[in-house]
Chain A
Amino acid sequence: MMKEVRAVIEKMKALYPNWIQDIRELPLQDIVIRVAAADVHEITDWLLKNSNYYHLSTITGLDNGEQIEIYYHFWDGNGLSLHTMLPRELPSMNTITDLIPGASFYEREVFEMLGVKFEDLDDSRRLLMADDWDGQYFPLRSDTKDSPKEEQK
């Protein structure tokens, strides 16, 4: 299992050496490679055409205080995740919904939670937040304080 994912990474390194900035192994048999945000679309395209890594489990976004980190979790017997960093002001990325249509739900959620704009995302309707939310705050940003609750009745 780990052999196969390592073989894929070696092939990637041989063909496109400047894609991979860092490799680390996580417990429970997952490998994370750090890549540049602008390369994610190309790498996804290469993975879909040249390996069995077509299943995108999810896109995780998190705010570590200084930067916004995005993970793309792929799976084929072993996990392979792409990890990229974005600046906190006006973070934006290219969408991968032209390659994987199912990623639109993941990207809409990352936008609502962290404010990351995905260029050319066809479907930017509200997913999880309420209709009266208009981007006033993003729940998972580290500088979001709990918003005051309105009086009901």
Chain B
Amino acid sequence: MSATVLEKVLRWARRKSPWILHFNSGGCNGCDIEILDLLTPRYDVERLGILQESVPRHADILLCTGPVTRQSRDRLRQIYNQIPEPKWVVVVGSCGCSGGVFQGSENVMGGVDQVIPVDLYIPGCPCRPEIIIEGLSKLLEKI
């Protein structure tokens, strides 16, 4: 009995305070400034409990933007491995989903799912902050 109650409390805690880590694995910066816009007064994701963290060990959700370039592939894997379980990966932007405009380039490996498993794809070039919030709240419902 107490185990189920504990599980429920943990699930509630995780759903109400997802801390995000943002990593740009080779993008043009458009989606990154829209993610940073989420923290500003107009969109204000702190009302959903979301805080931006600076260290992978403190984060629950990894927000990834940009196509994965050859140089940033290993770093992305390292960061993913450092985030403690349970963790979720959200890809923001068309470049992260599939390579976007840069498909076919030699230095670009493709989307983020070529390197790490992804839970949510948010397409857009660049994404609007509203759709990032909607995507994150859909993910939070599934936790």
Contact = CB atoms under 8 A, between A and B. Distances in A.
Question: On chain A, which size bracket covers the interface?
Answer: 10 to 19
Contact of B73 (A137, A139, A147, A152): A152
Interface in B69-112: 69-71, 73, 104, 106-107, 109-110
B70 A152 contact: no
A152 B109 contact: yes
A129 B104 contact: no
A152 B110 CA distance: 10
B106 A139 contact: yes
Interface residues of B, number: 11
B114 interface: yes
A133 B70 contact: yes
A149 B109 contact: yes
Contacts of B125: none
A131 interface: yes
Given A152-B114, A152-B115, A153-B114, A146 B71 contact: no
Interface in B27-78: 69-71, 73
Contact of A130 (B70, B104, B110): B70
Chain A contact residues, majority secondary structure:
loop
A132 interface: yes
Contacts of A149: 109-110
A130 B106 contact: no
Contacts of B107: 129-130, 139
Contact of B106 (A131, A132, A146, A152): A146
Q: Which of B73, B106, B115 has the most chain A CB within a 10 Å cutoff?
A: B106
Contacts of B73: 152
A63 to B, nearest CB: 16
Contact of B70 (A132, A137, A153): A132
Contacts of B70: 129-130, 132-133
A78 to B, nearest CB: 32
Contacts of B106: 137, 139, 146-147
A130 B104 CA distance: 17
A130 B109 contact: no
A130 B71 CA distance: 5
B66 to A, nearest CB: 15
Interface string A133-153: 100010100000011010011
B120 to A, nearest CB: 19
A130 B75 CA distance: 12
Contact of A131 (B71, B109, B110, B114): B71
Given A152-B109, A152-B114, 7 more contacts: A129-B71, A130-B69, A130-B107, A139-B107, A146-B106, A147-B106, A153-B114
